[in-house]
Amino acid sequence: MEPDRPPTIDDLAAIVASRAGESSSATRLGAAIELGRQLTELGDELIGRHVAEARAAGLSWTEIGRMFGTSRQAVQQRYGVGAPEPGDWPERWTPGVRRALEQAGQDARALGNDYIGTEHVLLALVSADGGIAAAALGDVGVDRDRVLATSCMRPGFSGSSSQQCLALMPRLKQALEHSRRIADRLDARLADTEHVLAGIVAVPDSMAVEILRRLGVSSGDVLAALGERMGIAPQRLGATRRRRRRLLAPSR
C-alpha cells in the first residue's frame, strides 16, 4: 500500500484474510468486525490528535466545529477533554478510581498505545485490589491474563507510546459520563470502581464490551455481578440517557 493514500477495501480484506486464515465465513466476519472497531478507534484518535494540534495553534472551537459541519458545543464535547496527568483526575472520583485511571494510562503505554480506551480501563479495573469492580469481574471469570490474551489487546496497534499526555477515546468519555450519572442516581457522593465498570458496559460498541463478549461475558452478566456485590437490583446500574428537548407542535 502506498504511504500517501488510505487503505482500499481490498487492502482491508487482505488483513482480514491474514488474520482469519483458511477458516469459516463466520470467523472471517468476526475478524472483519474486530478490524472495523479498531479502525474506528484509530480514526477517532487520529482526529483527536489533530484537533488538539489545531487548538494549540489557536483555532477556535467554532472554527473547528465548522470544519466538522457541526456545532462548537458538539465538537468540544467530543474532542475537548484531554487526558489528565496523574493526580489531576476530577475530584468526584474515589482514590480507587483515580488509581485505576492512572493504571490504565500505564497499561496503554506498556501496550504501545498513545490513547486510553475502555479496554485499558477494563484491564486496570480487573487488576485493582479490593475494589467491587475487580470482585464482580472475578465473579464472572474475567481476570487480567484473560483480558490480555484477547486479540483486541494486541500490543502496538496504534504505534507510538512516547507522548507525554495520552488522549481519552470518545467511548471512554461516554463511559465516564455514564458512571457519574449512575453514581448520582445511587446517591453516591463519589463515583467508585463499580460505577465506572457499570458505565463502561453501558457503551455497547466499546472495545471493553467486545473483549467481555469474546470471554463469554455479557453486559448483563457484569451488571448482575455488580448488583449482587452492592446489594441492589442490577437495573439500578443501567445508564440513563440525557433527555433531549422536543419542539411541540401547537395544539389545534
The CATH class of the 83-240 domain is: mainly alpha
Question: Cα(163)–Cα(175) distance, rounded to whole angstroms?
Answer: 23
∠ CA(114), CA(124), CA(94), 5° rounding? Answer: 110
Residue with cell 472495545: 207
Q: Where are the domains of the chain?
A: 83-240
Cβ atoms of 140 and 152 closer than 8 Å:
no
pLDDT tens string 162-220: 445 677 888 898 899 999 999 999 999 899 999 999 999 999 989 999 999 999 999 99
> Could you please report the per-residue DSSP string of 167-179?
EEPHHHHHHHHHH
What was the pLDDT predicted at 80? 61
Cβ atoms of 215 and 126 closer than 8 Å:
no
Q: Is the pTM of this model over 0.85?
A: no
What was the pLDDT predicted at 12? 87
pLDDT tens string 97-153: 988 988 998 999 898 888 889 999 999 999 877 689 999 999 999 999 999 998 778
Strand residues in the chain grouped as ranges (E): 115-116, 167-168
pLDDT tens string 44-88: 777 877 887 787 677 787 888 888 888 877 776 667 644 444 444
